Structure formats: structure tokens, C-alpha cells
Amino acid sequence: MADAYMDLVGSGFGKVLAKQLGLPQPPTLRRYVEGEPIAPGPVLLLGAGDTAQQLADVLLGWGLDVRRHFTDGVRFGAVLLVADSFEAPSELSAPALELGRAVKSLARGARVISLSKQAASQDAPAVAAVRRGIEGLVRSVARELRGGATANGLFLGDGVDGFNASLLGALRFFLSGKSAYVDGQFLSVSTTDSEVPDVRTAQYDGAASPLAGKVAVVTGAARGIGAAIARVLKRDGATVVVVDVPAAGDALTKVANELGGTALQLDITRADAGQVILDHARGRHGSLDIVVHNAGITRDKLLANMDQAKWDSVIAVNLESQLRMNEAFLAADLPGLRIVTLASTSGIAGNRGQTNYAASKAGVMGVVASTSPALEARGGGMNAVAPGFIETEMTAKIPVATRAVGRLLLPSLMQGGLPLDVAEAVSFLASPAANGINGQTLRVCGQSLIGA
């Protein structure tokens, strides 16, 4: 989406003026482009042990230039901190300081990624300390990076090593331009009995139709984030069914025609909405493999001024409809079904004037945690994506100066995300490469808790 402010401060006199006035100068983010390298320069791999060596072998197999020690004059495209074997805070000192040296010479759009264990109640105090310490390190580094670089982390579950397919799928996502607006976030990866692609060789291409043969349903798909999700799912090989209310029928049909899919005009608050979606997907396309719960509404008011109609309508659309549809999908016993639902940073941190919306989106995350085990037992799973400030047609109407001030509140990326950024995260979580990721909420917010 074109942005007058970013165009103004991105070059020439506007860039000089913005620097003099201390105005935010948002970097151009490195987003996915087919055929471009997964990292924009050599990869520095810090750490020792079996996992580090396994990852080095895999990265070399991907055709990447892997370095095991910092070298002056190199513009690193990524830094991997492998710390899954750390058992005391003192072990973090040397690699952290070496990471600090590398941060000064990162390429634009570089990635910093930690691989560690998540702290647990049964850990010895020193072990728990270093594991939590890594989280603080990564989230703080993310706020120090510039040039569109990001920092994220992966938690390795029991039995997960450097050859684990789901771990490598998540690593590719974080390394690539598909994670452009994911910053300061962690995903946990576990072992899985489900089928996952072999991602260990250069022949594996994370963009080469990972959803081929899948039938995906996206609700609220007539425009905005929903339409972007539908487009990315189609790009990644899925056959797409787009769903929206009858009032959005014309726009919905255009999206369906563009993608070679089918349109289903449906009010998802209907008691039988889940069965209607099932019947359409099976009848027209033979199966239902992916469901994206994107449809949602806002009816903002301070709680003191909230009426029952505004409260109930938001809960009905954003939360209760999903509960009923999920019941229908579980009753149908769909093998390998993956569900991705849209939460919000408002549901994590709250937002003034959005008590109903925040309650609904926090509720969605509760649904994910509760429903995911049943889907995992059938070879599938459920996760959520929580967008922050995403720049849509609606936010583009905010005055340029107001948006510029708002960006001062954002961390190092200094800009809102795009619907595409949300769509990339959804498509990854819907893919077989994410089979070891279940019951989690991934924020797509540029490490900010601002937005809806």
C-alpha cells in the first residue's frame, strides 16, 4: 500500500529533513520475493553442540554461506544463536557479546534467531535462569536492530534436534522475507507423528507450493486481510473457498474469480454455518484441509457507555461463531485439519474502548489452547495469529501527521504491517511444515502491542 509519509522521508530532501527533526524514518522491510535467497548474506552460527553442527550441515545443504565465528567486514544476512544446551547464565556471555559485534554489521533485512529450550518449573534454578535470560536478550536485541532487521526465537521441545522438519520449517519462515513484520516473538516446536516435508536439502523450496492439493476456507475474505490471506494461500498452492456475508457478495465474487476458487455467501453466526462450509468444500472440491477464521467486527465504546447490542454482536461474530463451526469440523473427523484463527494484540494487552473486542480476541486464544489437542490427535492442529497495527484502507485515511506520530510509539521497524504480513504467517501455520507447532499465538505486530 502506497504511503505518502514513507515516500517523503525515504529519499532526498525529505530524508534529510526527517533526520534533522527527529521524525521516524521507517526502513523498507525485506518481504518475500520468489527466487530471492532466503538470507541476504552469510549466516553466522553461534554456539556449540550437536544441534549447532546439525544446523550447520542443513544450512550448507540449503546453499547458504555459513560462518562459525564473527569476521570483521562481513555483512551478515542472519545470526543464529544455538543455546539449547546452555545450563547456566555464564554460558550466555561469550555468544551474546559476539552477537553484539555482529549486530553492527548486519545486512538490511537481516534476521537474528535464537534456538533454545523453554524454561519449565522442573528446571534447576540456573537452567531456568539462562533459558528465560535468552528470551529477554532476544526481545531486547529486536528493539536495537535497524534497517528492517528482526530478532525472533524458537523453543526446541523434547526430542527436537537440528534435523527436525518442523523446526527447520519454522527456521525457514523466520529467515525469509515472509516474517518481515514478526519481531521479538517465540514459537515452540515439538516432535510430531504427522507427515512433514523433507526440508533438509537445497531441493526443498519453502515457496514451492507447500499447500498443493489442500482445500482452504477463509472467512471474511471479501477484502482487506481476509482477501490477502486467500491470495497467499492460492499462491502457495491451495484451492481456496472465500466466505463473507451476502452484502459483500460482489467483492467476494471478484476475489473468488481472481483466485480460481469458489465464493460462499454466508452469515457465519448461523447455527449451521460450519455444516454449510463443510458441504460446500466437500461438494465442490472434495475435501476440507484448512480453515482460516478471519471474519470479525468491532463495535468500539468505553465500557461505561457500552450497550448490550454492541457487546453481544462482537462476541457472536468474533468468538461464538468460531466455537460452533469448530464443533462441526471436529464432528466431521477431518484428518489433518489445520485451523488458523485471527486473534489480536488487543486481546493480549487490552485497548481502551475495546473491552468487547479484546474479550472476544482473548477468548479466541483460549479456544486455540483448548481445541488444539483434539486436532493434533488427528494429525492436524490449531494456532492463532495476533496482528498489531496493520495498515489497511481504513488506516490509510488517518492523517499523515497522525500516523507519523503513531510510528514514534512503534519499536525499530517504525511502521505498521501490511495485510500481506498477516497472510504470510497464516499460510505458514496452515502448512505441513508447521505440524510441530500447535496451540500457540504468533504476534505479527513489529514487537508493538498497538493495534486491533
Over residues 229-255, the pLDDT tens digits come to 999 999 999 999 999 999 999 999 999
Angle at 374 between CA 369 and CA 379, to 5 degrees: 110
Q: In the chain, where does the domain assigned CATH 3.40.50.720 lie?
A: 40-189, 208-444
What is the model's pLDDT at position 121? 94
Residue 357 designated active-site: yes
Quote the pTM value.
0.93
CB 52, CB 116: distance < 8 Å: no
What is the model's pLDDT at position 404? 60
What is the model's pLDDT at position 2? 44
Indicate whether 205 pLDDT > 80.
Answer: no
What is the model's pLDDT at position 389? 87
Amino acid at 284: R
Question: Tell me: the pLDDT tens digits for 360-386?
Answer: 999 999 999 999 999 999 999 999 999
Higher pLDDT, 197 or 397: 197
What is the model's pLDDT at position 358? 94
For 72-114, give the DSSP string. Answer: TT--EEEEEEE-TT--SGGGGHHHHHHHHHHHTTEEEEEEEEE
CATH class of 208-444: alpha beta
Q: Which of 5, 32, 181, 357 is catalytic?
A: 357
Return the CATH superfamily for domain 40-189: NAD(P)-binding Rossmann-like Domain (3.40.50.720)
Indicate whether 203 pLDDT > 60.
Answer: no
Amino acid at 155: F
- DSSP 3-state assignment of 151? strand
Give the up-direction half-sphere exposure of residue 88: CA atoms within 13 A in the CB hemisphere.
2
Question: Tell me: the pLDDT tens digits for 131-180?
Answer: 999 999 999 999 999 999 999 999 999 999 999 999 999 999 999 999 99
Q: How confident is the model at residue 333 (pLDDT cuts 50, 70, 90)?
A: confident
**Which residues in 190-273 belong to E strands, given as ranges?**
215-219, 239-244, 262-265
Residue 279, CA distances (Å) to 208, 291, 292 in order: 29, 14, 16
Tell me the mean pLDDT in the region 76-83.
98
Q: How confident is the model at residue 7 (pLDDT cuts 50, 70, 90)?
A: low
